[in-house]
Structure 1
Amino acid sequence: MEWLDQNLWLAWLGLALVLVAIEAATVDFTFVMLAGGSLAGAVAAGAGLGFVWQVIIAVVVSFALILFLRPYVKRQFASSEASHSIGAAALPGRLARVIETVTETDGRVRLAGETWSARVPDGAPPCEPGEEVRVLAIDGAIAVVTNQPAGYQSPDAHQGGPPVGGA
């Protein structure tokens, strides 16, 4: 028990780690704020303050984080600017560079740092290597692209995703 009295900061640190693990499962930004309070308790223990002061500091810091920081963090993660689509859903509208001629059936483009199979919409002219194209949609693992202006909507864009510049 004497070792625990001398190393109480480790208990606070262990509590903080447990709270961060719970936060990873809940993603509600509550347990991570409590973990911040636990870290403040660990600092207080490391500074040599008594257990009562450690608990007071941990509780005050936890409540302050929950009341002031948590709403800001939740707002940032819930805002439309912060909730951009990820993965293939984020690709329509982006620009790509043609690597191999893109026709209605085949082609390759460099998109978001990766090489993608690509095709143009039915009836569209092919895109030549080196040309910059706009992604209209993602159809499975194939990027549907065009060298037309940004407002162009392909006849089959509705099949693979939202139209570019749509309403």
Structure 2
Amino acid sequence: MTDHMTTERLTLRAPRTEDAAAIASMVGDLEVSRWLTRVPHPYALQDAQEFISRVAVGGGNTFAICVGTQVVGCIGTEVQLGYWLGKNHWGRGYASEAAHAMVQRHFAQGHAELQSGYFVENAASRHVLEKLGFVRTSQEQSRSPATGDCHVLQRMVLTQDMWKAQA
């Protein structure tokens, strides 16, 4: 599989060392990190550097989302589909566009299903996943590492058959 992808407006590529400051700045915004299940707050430059290092030795399914040369977020399918965008890039359809490319890649790799989820208060993320065809499976209580608050986490799944049926 390729180490980068392009969509109509985006380039998805491996995060680079020089992306660390931008990633730290965007994820360091509590309005972003509060919706993520694995990110602490505050989120510092060292956290971003460690993230980039982990991705470099991982399975190759985590990408920086770029508009031109500017990093605007990240997306991956290492364990499940997860993504985030910097707050200044919300509402432009970038998450949906990047997620569509990642789902295509995931199923092209021969996987039978893909899991994801969202905190129920995060309507934008729910919309992205539903638009891709994900269906709800279960709910559980989950603590946001960024805020310490407990939220309902809606789990979802998309099978390869469901993906093909809507193509």
Structure (1 or 2) with the greater strand fraction: 2
**TM norm structure 2:** 0.22
Larger relative contact order (CA 8 Å, sep ≥ 6): 2
Structure with max Cα Rg: 1
TM-score normalised per structure 1: 0.22
Structure number having the greater helix percentage? 1
